[in-house]
Amino acid sequence: MKNPDIGVTVHARAVEPPVVPPLPEIEALEPIQKIRRRWPAVLGAMLSVAMVIGLGIELFGEGLVALRQSAPVHPGFYIAVLLLYFSPPTFDFIIFRRLWGIPFEGMIALHKKRIANEVVIGYSGEAYFYAWARERMKMVAAPFGAVKDVSILSAIAGNGITLAMIAVAMPFASGLLAPDQFETLLWSTIVIIGISLPFLLFSKRVFSLERPTLWWVFGVHSLRLLAGSTLIALAWHFAMPHVSIGMWLFLAAGRLLVSRLPLVPNKDLLFANFAIILIGQGEALSDLVAFTAAIALLLHIVLIAGFGIHALTRKAR
């Protein structure tokens, strides 16, 4: 081929296309994709099995014994206990309804979250709820940050209310507790402050949500704790009406206080001793506390069975 501009004949040479390595077969990538998609469901199934095992251990341990004890006759006791039982998932639903707009089906996941935390391992419920949210990525863009923030704020709210109760109860506790118990209370107070302080000092690095949202979540958690203490006081008052509601409210505050103390080896025993000193009737009070815990265990079992039937029904459809 002659170039007319320079008068030189140029021989055309065929240019071979670049060698492109073959792409892997799509089928070879499917197992990895399936694992990535299925891990939330696998984790949820494992925690569900762990919840059933934990409930069985609790039931055949002290649960059946407590349920055989004399039950309160006042219907107000059972109404207050039911409201108390359903209050934590309800307040959590209010929070995540605003954060994510979760449907009412989310109440099932929140109940399982609560049961897992109580009968499996602490904060295993958060892992279950995170897995549940990951399965619904269209609804939730980044679930980990919100679950983390809500969990941390729940702990901070509990610690804050506990510190407030310590300040209120300290004048009374100084005359009721033994010197070693009083020393444990003081050290536990220092530990509670030490645990909460880093989250407050480095809040910008710890939390993912906006500051107004964080304050709103903190307020909902605080309201949940106050409602729980009020409901348990009402339930016990209906069961033992000869004890004033004011004394039961004080004992409910003490119960919440004892449950948050990090250095107390036997919290139930400390609370029982504290309550018996105040109102007496140790055996009746111990039976009442055990019966209240047994009702919560029974409700756990009923809900887990109901959720299982609901899941089977949906698969059948």
- What average pLDDT score do residues 205-234 get? 92
Q: What is the pLDDT of residues 147-157, one digit of tens each?
A: 889 989 998 99
The whole-number average pLDDT for the span 129-148 is 76
- The answer to whether residue 6 sits within a structural domain is no
| Mean pLDDT confidence for 246-273 | 72
Asked whether residue 59 is domain-assigned, the answer is yes
pLDDT at 169: 67
Answer whether residue 10 is part of any domain: no
| Better pLDDT: 284 or 1 | 284
Answer whether residue 8 shows pLDDT above 50: no
Res 68: pLDDT:
59
In this structure, what token pair is assigned to residue 209?
């949500």
Token pair 């892992």 in the structure block, residue: 127
Query: 75-84: per-residue pLDDT in tens?
Result: 999 999 999 9
Q: Which residue has the tokens 């016990």?
A: 236
| Domain coverage including residue 179 | 32-316
pLDDT of 317 above 60: yes
Is 203 or 78 the better-scoring residue by pLDDT? 78
Asked if residue 88 is part of any domain, the answer here is yes
Q: Are residues 92 and 113 in contact, defined by beta-carbon separation less than 8 angstroms?
A: yes
Q: Among 57-71, 213-227, 236-250, whose mean pLDDT is lowest? A: 57-71
The residue ranking higher by pLDDT, 11 or 94, is 94
Radius of gyration for the alpha carbons in the chain, expressed in angstroms and rounded = 29
What does the mean pLDDT of the chain come to?
Answer: 75
**CA–CA distance, 83 with 230 (Å, rounded to integer):** 11
Contacts with 56 (C-beta within 8 Å, 6 or more apart), sequence order:
none
Task: Work out the average pLDDT over 163-189.
Answer: 70
CB 130 within 8 A of CB 106: no
Highest mean pLDDT among 47-56, 203-212, 308-317: 203-212
With respect to residue 13, please indicate whether it lies within any of the assigned structural domains: no
Q: What was the pLDDT predicted at 274?
A: 67
Confidence at residue 40, expressed as pLDDT on a 0 to 100 scale: 57
Mean pLDDT, residues 302-316 taken together: 81
Q: Any bridge partners for residue 2, and if so which?
A: 9
Any domain includes 117 = yes
Stretch 75-102: mean pLDDT: 93
pLDDT at 115: 86
Which range is least confidently modeled, 28-32, 92-96, 246-250?
28-32
Full-model pTM: 0.73
pLDDT of residue 88: 93
Position 305 pLDDT exceeds 70 = yes
In 10 A of CB 102, how many CB atoms? 21
How many domains does one find in the chain? 1
d(CA 174, CA 204): 38
With bands split at pLDDT 50, 70 and 90, how would you rate the model's confidence at 31? very low
Residue 99 domain flag: yes
In DSSP notation, the chain reads: -EETTTTEE----PPPPPP-PPPPPHHHHHHHHHHHHHHHHHHHHHHHHHHHHHHHHHIIIIIHHHHTSPPP--HHHHHHHHHHHHHHHHHHHHHHHHHH---TTHHHHHHHHHHHHHHT-TTHHHHHHHHHHHTTTTT-S-HHHHHHHHHHHHHHHHHHHHHHHHHHHHHHHHHHS-HHHHHHHHHHHHHHHHHHHHHHHTHHHH--S-HHHHHHHHHHHHHHHHHHHHHHHHHHHHHSTTS-HHHHHHHHHHHHHHHH-SS-S-HHHHHHHHHHHHH--HHHHHHHHHHHHHHHHHHHHHHHHHHHHHHHHHHH-
> Comparing C-alpha atoms, which of 130, 176, 142 is closest to residue 271?
176
Q: Mean pLDDT over residues 245-265, rounded?
A: 75
Residue 19 counted as domain residue: no
Residue 94: closest CA among 269, 276, 221: 221
The stretch 205-215 carries a mean pLDDT of 90
End-to-end CA separation in angstroms for the chain:
74
Contact by Cβ (8 Å): 251, 278: yes
